[in-house]
Copies of this chain bind each other. A is one copy, B any other.
Amino acid sequence: MPKPSLDYLFNPTSIAIAGVSPDAARPNLAQLFVSTLRNFGFKGEIYPLHPSGGELFGTKVYTNVREIPGPVDYVISAIPARFTPQLITDCVAKGVKAVHLFTSGYGEIEDEIGKKLEGEILKIARKGGMRLVGPNCMGLYNPSSGLTFAGDFPDQIGFPRQSGSLGLISQSGGNCIYTIREAAGRGVFFSKAISYGNAADLNETDYLEYMAEDAQTKLIAMYIEGVRDGKRFMQALKNLAGKKPVIINKGGNTETGARACASHTGSLAGSAAIWHDLIKQVGAIPAGSISELVDMGVAFLKMKVPNGRNTVVIGTGGGIAVQASDDITGAGLDLPILPLEVRKKLVAIYGTEAGSIFRNPVDAPPMASVEKYVEAVKAIAESDQVDVLILHCPFDIWAMVSRSLPLRPFIETVAVLAKVIDKPMAAVLHYDTNSGSRQMVEDVQKKFVDLGLPVYPSIQRAATAINKYIEYYERLRGENRLSRVSGSKRKAC
């Protein structure tokens, strides 16, 4: 199989970093790139660059990229914008394949100087046949080649070394960081990721075409503020339709949001409604926020495609069940009353319905008796009227009852369930901002993720992601809405 065209970008054999402070005691961002790449396990050569030369971590600091003896595939620039035309010129002379400009101060600045400078470096690079990543961006993450712009994970500050199958293309560095870390905490890992900034040269479509060809990437997620060439972008999405799902969150849906896009990456943002329609027409999936990107990644990569929308919520607390009902239905899923034969089974299991609710949501305290809980969930999952199960774990309330109702048997129960239940099943873990419930959720989430369970922080977020997941496969198969509940139309409210 031929390598995708931008493969040299994600698998460089040597990297030079411009702007590195040669004094280990006075680290700057460029120096952090050096130490981060080393610690993360990048196998190729790393060459620090600084006009004053010297030595750092036992390695020579070169004063100019042209002085470096061996070949240089890739250069990361963290020097002030005004010095970059010279750097780009030197890189072309050296035969560098691509330069990543972490540097900002170009097209995203309101004055004309930045825009002019962006045009200038682009011209030099194009003339020299060299590609640019950015400017004004964090750059590349490829765990399998040890390429990263953040440290080790689960160290507080970094990204996972573990590879996965989600490819991320993000115009924003912050959103790229959020998405990678949040997804990893929920068991979703990445093939490659890129924070691409202003997209002066290589743009969203170039990266999309790369991810399309990349065998390791099974699902593509994008955060976009603006598109450089709309026609080519839409064509690339069309080519992917039915082959690899592409989930897109478009930033800047209001006048002020669009203004922020211009300030951030110099992008001209279009109307959100038009975007959503266009994206759907070419077979991609619009996401309302970056957290929704992650939520959908969890659904697509960790859950079987449900046969329909009949969802059963199994949780604790009547008030919470009311909110869950509104949220399930509001997101587009169905919440049918449990069939009478299932409810009869539940009454037989629990002895009575007093203090519980068996219609749906099912309010049955799991920790009162784990045996009963397993029996109940099995009885529900067995019904052919049920397509999706949601185990609702409200730690904001459970934290209160933890003293009398121990948590461990419940987790062991879910471990059993995760193995025996064949239906699509997710867990919703929510909590208040107090330490007790937060700590409980953290421990339980880790265990549930290890079991392979899709985990969500709220019913609303789970339902939205699962509904869009179902919708995608419906459209793919040219089917109508997968609904078997008659008369379950949502009320406008």
Contact = CB atoms under 8 A, between A and B. Distances in A.
A363 B264 CA distance: 9
A319 B432 contact: no
B323 A493 contact: no
A394 interface: yes
A490 interface: yes
A150 to B, nearest CB: 5
A271 to B, nearest CB: 6
Nearest to A336: B256
- Name which of A255, A337, A489 has the most chain B CB atoms within 10 A of its CB: A255
A175 interface: yes
Contacts of A178: 320, 394, 396-397, 432
A171 interface: yes
Interface in A337-371: 337, 352-355, 357, 359, 361, 363
A174 B318 contact: yes
B400 A158 contact: yes
A154 to B, nearest CB: 7
A321 B251 CA distance: 10
Nearest to A267: B322
Given A185-B432, A404-B32, A264 B396 contact: no
A455 to B, nearest CB: 8
A104 B433 contact: no
Interface in A302-352: 316-326, 328-330, 335, 337, 352
B254 A493 contact: yes
Given A177-B396, A326-B251, A319 B264 contact: yes
Interface residues of A, number: 102
A434 interface: yes
Contact of A254 (B156, B174, B319, B326): B326
Contact of A322 (B104, B186, B251): B251
A18 to B, nearest CB: 16
Interface in A427-465: 432-438, 440, 442, 445, 457
A385 interface: no
- Name which of A155, A178, A436 has the most chain B CB atoms within 10 A of its CB: A178
A172 interface: yes
A353 B105 CA distance: 8
B397 A174 contact: yes
Contacts of A86: none
Given A178-B397, A186-B433, A433-B182, A488 B172 contact: no
A426 interface: no
Contacts of A265: 318
A259 interface: yes
Contacts of A259: 325, 337, 359
A417 to B, nearest CB: 22
Contacts of A264: 318-319, 321-322, 357, 363
Contacts of A16: none
Contacts of A490: 254-255
A212 B177 CA distance: 48
A403 interface: yes
A328 B325 CA distance: 28
Interface string A293-306: 00000000000000
The 6 closest A-B pairs by CB, nearest first: A172-B319, A174-B317, A156-B436, A105-B354, A264-B318, A175-B319
Given A174-B317, A255-B489, 10 more contacts: A110-B359, A154-B435, A251-B322, A254-B329, A254-B490, A256-B335, A260-B318, A260-B322, A263-B318, A290-B319
